[in-house]
Each structure stands twice: as structure tokens, then as C-alpha cells.
Structure 1
Amino acid sequence: MFDSPLSSSAYEVLGVDPAADEEGLRRAFRLRLRQTHPDTGGDAAVFVQVQRAWELVGTPAARAAYDRGHGFSAEPAPEASTGAAPGWRAPAPRPDTRPRARSHGQPGGWRRERYLTLIREWAGRGVALEDPYDPALVRSAPHHLRRLLADALAEEATARVVADLGMGYTVWHDVMAAGRGADSDAKIDHIVLGPSGLYGILSEDFGGPVRIRRGELVGEGVSGAPIAELVARMRGMARAAGVRFGGAIVVLPDDDVMESIAELGKVRGTPVVVVSRSALSTVLRRGITGARAIGGNEVFDVRTRLQQSVRFA
């Protein structure tokens, strides 16, 4: 809820200045509770946000941690280069000896690079910033910059989920669709191959609730036709590599979807499902309704064709 560059800060939710003293913060919290309580006509979702904001800044220790930047905490993505996110406050990963999925490419890499270039131009006139991921800086940046970082984080989160599926899965990150230019409009965030099928995946964070209408995503932060665009890119990749995708998956933050798994049927002949991030591993293991499972020598053939055809952003 508060771990997205597109979301309001805990202070904004409470309606108080970040420099407010403890008593001012407490008064703001009590006022917001009264204003948002469902029993007095408030919005239940906002009421929950207010309580969560208080948990983050309601005690001196929690507030100090939040102000240091832990409101944007994130673990590094699997096999990410150490230079991809300088200054990003991430907990040290624990040693993990479990077999991991085969991973190719840099999840979120294209958007991270664009974010770093543009945030320096915007904030530092090309001068190196002490911390380009400082939460105060991020939240004050223009929406298109925060969106770049939010989507990079979303792609990295998906990469961690897929990596945990084990060595039976192969994933390609930041794949450029065949015959398209090197920009975000030509990119497939992830291609995942496993026993349940071959899937194209879009990882998104629109900064708020998303609904589904007539086979497409709609919401305040949604622009264009994300599902139709994903399917079109997958069709181009399928032709170039000589493979057949089993389905398309759109991954969104848990708080932004009404259902954890919503199967939409077919879009231009491709089965599509919209899932919450926590449900992604379930979908990839069991497959999508209408998707064709892949087994035996076909897995090796599809993997080889893709490995020879993909190019990365």
C-alpha cells in the first residue's frame, strides 16, 4: 500500500506535515480516523490506509525507520547487477541454496536505467545525486518518473516469484518484441517457460485499484490497452521464434485487484489471466484454463528456439 513510488506517503494519508511533532501527528491520526470511519460515512479502504499509516510512523522508532527510507524497501532481484540500484535501501538477502529457475536478462533493468537518467536530469541537472532513490525525492518527482520506478520494482518482484519456482522453469526478462524499436512500447516484461506452458507476463503498478472491463484493464492510472498490447507483442515474438504461447498473465500488486486470480478467457485467441502478485506462483504451477501444457522434448525445443531468438532491452 505504501511501498509503491506512486502511492501517497504515510504523512499524506494522515494529512500532516512530515515535520510535525508527536502530538501533532497523534491529533492528525485521530482526526483522520473520525473522518474515514465507515460508521460515520467514511470509506472503509481509506480507513484501513489511515491505520496502516499510523503503524508506519506512530512511534518514534517506526517513524525514524520510515523517514530513513524503509517506506520503499525492496529486495534485489535475482541475478541483478550490483550496480543496478545504487543507494536503494535493501535488506541483505539470506543465503539460499535451493535450485532456482533459469534466468536470462535483467528484470526491471530498462526502466531502472531510464529512471536514473531522467531523475538526474530533473533533480540534478545531470549532476550525480547522493541518493536517487531517496523517498522524499521520489515522491516529489513527476508522475512519469515515479511510474518508471514503480514498474521496475514490479518487474523485480515478479522475477523473485518466478525464481522460487525452481529449476523446472526458465524465464527471460526485458525481452524486446520482434520487429519493434528499443523502447518500453516494444517490451515484454517476462517470458516464462515451465511444465504448465509458455507465458508472456506483464508486471505493472498503476498506483491504485484496477478493474477489468470487456477484457481490458481500467483504472485511474491505466492508459492505453495493456492487455491487448501485451498479446500483440507476444504474437510477434511467437512468429519470430516459431513457438506458441499458452497464455498471457498480468501481475498487479495485491492491494490493487479485487480477485487474486481473474481469468478473462481469450483475447485475440490467447487465454489471459490477471493475478495478484501473491497468486502468481499458483497460476504458473497449475496453468491457465485453455493453455497447453508442455512436456518432454518439447520443453528443450521451445527453450532453444527462444534462446536463439530473444533480444533484450
Structure 2
Amino acid sequence: MTDSPADATPYEVLGVAATVDDDELRRAYRRAARETHPDLGGDPQRFRALQTAWERVGTPGARRAYDTGAARSTESAFAPSGSSVWRSDAGRSAYAPPAGRRDSRPRARSFGHPGGRSREVFLAAEREWVGLGDPIEDPYDPALVRSAPRAIRRLLGEALAEEATALIVGDMGIGVTVWHDIDAGPEGKLDHAVLAPSGLWALESIDWGGPVELERGEITGQTLLPGERPVKELVRAARVVTKQTRVRFTGRILVVPDTAIEDDVQVVGNPKKPVALIVKRRSLAIVLNGGYGPDRGAVDVFEVRARLQETVRFV
């Protein structure tokens, strides 16, 4: 369990409402511990998640800190590639939009608003959940976010995932150009198009709040929505953008949290000509710099950049 809003809350892991008293919470923990303990035939992964949940809400002090939004994993204060919540700005909610950069290092050329549409969808869903007309002092207040239904929290998780990818790509320097939130017509949007030394890549940044697997050319997992087909959706969005811009993508990448998959890179389809790559955030820059897989051929950077600048549309 990380600090991603898409993750199950400790109460969801324990299988109780956030409003139960401490005695009921303790009984739920003991019951779940018996069911999941590896020595009793339980699932080790579920048992570890249970222990993490109990650490967060198992004592009155810890529970109070979590419920008020004061408790945050130290993971969020370190490398941005591993967690959805990658900001550590003093005095700011980890869920708030990113503040402007203060350093003067050369950055990648960037166009569009990473995570912008996903945040709009999240804010609209949160407003409907709270109640239209009811005031929301801070929509990114951790206590409010953690109390929202998981489907709403996942919308914010998607925005944070897109912003985390934007930060990684931005740090690759001026030799890289990236377009965010590209209009993909009936397929919605393409999160990012990245023009890097290895070619032009179509990227989707996703956080399902849990581990996933690759089965028969598609991503599966308990936390995916019914009917969700991430690989197929990325392929379709990339095709629409290619048709609009007349620029062909070198490849397609699904960028996922480091905890979502076991290997740094997983190939969908034929390794020599993959349908897509599933890449951990910590390995994204390596892949974009050409550090993985066969040589895909040279790309006329100036021509591709000019074509996209003339034709790309944003949502």
C-alpha cells in the first residue's frame, strides 16, 4: 500500500466502514489475520497488506492521524518514479496540483497540461459525491480524498500518474519534446506523445491501486474496472492521433507504478514488434532513451516535431 489515492484504504483492506469504533476495528483485524495468515493457508500478499493497514489505523493515535490526513508514507518524499504521490512541497497536500519548478536545469519542451483533464473529471465526480451546492474548502484535503469512494479516488490517482510521468520526461532535458492530453476523438485522449532519441512514443499513465498481470495480450487485475482494456484503449487512441497528425508512433507504452508489475518492462505481443510495452516508472527514461529492445530506426526529429506542432489538438 502506497500513498496513492487509488489504493485501497486501511478500512477497505480490513473490510469495515471508516466509522466503526475501535473495538469493532480490532475484531475485524483479528478475523482477517486468521483468514490471511500464511501459516493457516492464507495469502501472504493479503496478509502483508493487512499488516500495513493495521499499522496505519490500529492505534487511536495512528487512526486519528490517518483520518485527519496527517499520516503520509515517507515513500512520497523520495523518488517520483515509484509512487503516484511524488510531491513533497512543504505545506501542500500531496494530492494538490504541482507547484512550479524552482530550479533552472534544462527541461524537455512540453506542450499541453498533464493530468489536467483527469483532475477536471475527478473534481466533478467529487463535487457530485459531496453534494452539489455543499462547500468544499479544499478538494485535495487528504481526509476528504481518503473518505471518497475508491472509484473517485482512482480518478485522482490517474491525474497524479500523468503528472509523475510528465516530471520524469521533463527531467530528460531539451533533447526531448512531449505533448500532453492529446485529443483522441471518440477514444477520449492520449495522455502523452513523447519525441525522444529512440523515436516517437504514445504513452498512457495509469495507476490501478494494485498489482496487475499480463494475460493473452491484455492487462488484468482485481482493481481494474469492468470492461477495462488498457492495451486495446492505448492502441486505439494512438491510431486516432496518428490519423489526425499523419505521424506514426515508434511504439506504445503503458506507464505503471513500480509496484504494479514484477519486471521493469513487460512486452505485449511479439518481442520483435510488440503491440505495447508495460514499463515501471523507474525505467521509463531508460526505455525512452533507447535502452531497451531492438533498434527501431532513426526518426527525423525536426520533421516529426513540426508536424505534431501543426496538427496536434488538446482536450
Q: Same fold (TM over 0.5)?
A: yes
Normalised by the length of structure 2, the TM-score is 0.79
In structure 2, the gaps of 5 or more residues are 77-84
* In structure 2, C-alpha distance between the alignment counterparts of 1:109 and 1:93, rounded to whole Å: 15
* In structure 2, C-alpha distance between the alignment counterparts of 1:17 and 1:40, rounded to whole Å: 26
Deviations 1:6-47 (A, max 9, x none): 322124334566567888877765665454331221211112
1:211 aligned residue: 213
1:130 to 137, 151, 157: 137
* In structure 1, C-alpha distance between the alignment counterparts of 2:295 and 2:133, rounded to whole Å: 48
* In structure 1, C-alpha distance between the alignment counterparts of 2:247 and 2:198, rounded to whole Å: 15
The structural deviation recorded for 1:5 is 2.7
1:257 aligned residue: 261
The structural deviation recorded for 1:311 is 1.1
1:146 to 149, 153, 158: 153
1:202 to 176, 201, 204: 204
The structural deviation recorded for 1:275 is 1.5
Matched, 1:173 2:180: yes
Pair 1:37–1:270, CA change in 2 (3 A): closer
For residues 55-66 of structure 1, the aligned pairs below 5 Å read 55-57=55-57, 63-66=63-66
Matched, 1:108 2:108: no
Higher alpha-carbon deviation: 92-101 or 203-212:
92-101
Using CA pairs under 8 Å that are at least 6 residues apart, name the structure with larger relative contact order, 1 or 2: 2
Pair 1:266–1:241, CA change in 2 (3 A): farther
For residues 1-313 of structure 1, the aligned pairs below 5 Å read 1-14=1-14, 32-57=32-57, 63-69=63-69, 70-71=71-72, 74-75=85-86, 88=95, 95-177=102-184, 180-181=185-186, 185-220=187-222, 221-222=224-225, 223-266=227-270, 271-290=275-294, 292-294=296-298, 298-313=300-315
* In structure 1, C-alpha distance between the alignment counterparts of 2:17 and 2:188, rounded to whole Å: 41
The aligned length equals: 298
Which amino acid in the other structure matches residue 286 of structure 2?
T
Report the identity percentage: 49
SS at match of 1:148: helix
SS at match of 1:240: helix
Normalised by the length of structure 1, the TM-score is 0.79
CA contact (8 A) 1:76 1:156 kept: no
Deviations 1:32-82 (A, max 9, x none): 5454331221211112212323443457775554333255963469xxxxx
CA contact (8 A) 1:231 1:270 kept: no
SS at match of 2:239: helix
The structural deviation recorded for 1:121 is 2.5
Higher alpha-carbon deviation: 43-52 or 215-224:
215-224
Which amino acid in the other structure matches residue 183 of structure 2?
M
Pair 1:88–1:100, CA change in 2 (3 A): same
Which amino acid in the other structure matches residue 207 of structure 1?
G
Higher alpha-carbon deviation: 145-154 or 107-116:
145-154
CA contact (8 A) 1:108 1:156 kept: yes
CA contact (8 A) 2:87 2:94 kept: no
* In structure 2, C-alpha distance between the alignment counterparts of 1:275 and 1:198, rounded to whole Å: 16
The structural deviation recorded for 1:305 is 0.9
Deviations 1:229-261 (A, max 9, x none): 212221232233232211000112222223221
The structural deviation recorded for 1:264 is 1.9
